[in-house]
Structure 1
Amino acid sequence: RDGGGIINTRIAEAAARAIVMKYNKEKLMEFGGHIQISHTWAESLLSRMNFVKRK
């Protein structure tokens, strides 16, 4: 973000999914696991990282 890039919930979801897929995709819900990466989860992550919408 410091370099001017856009960080939004879709990017956060995709990054989280890619990280889990790399290490253990069986943990994702679509592969029978218990982890569900949702839009609300991504919003929560961004707010905990203090990435809020700029106005």
Structure 2
Amino acid sequence: MAYRITDDCLACGTCLESCPNDAIIEGDIYKIDADKCENCGTCIEECPTGAIIEE
């Protein structure tokens, strides 16, 4: 299972702070580094806009 951050991302930093593997990459819209992501789902639970989805 892979996760993706959609255009609904506000770059608020909530997922960045909550990721235990530092898999979130900062930018105008954040991205997930698939090599670091362990699919724990913490980012999905923490995202206030629901911008992180499973693919």
TM (norm. structure 1) is: 0.22
Give the strand-richer structure, 1 or 2. 2
Q: Which structure has more helix as a fraction of its residues?
A: 1
Higher-Rg structure is 1
* RCO higher in structure (CA 8 A, sep ≥6): 2
TM-score, normalised with respect to structure 2: 0.22
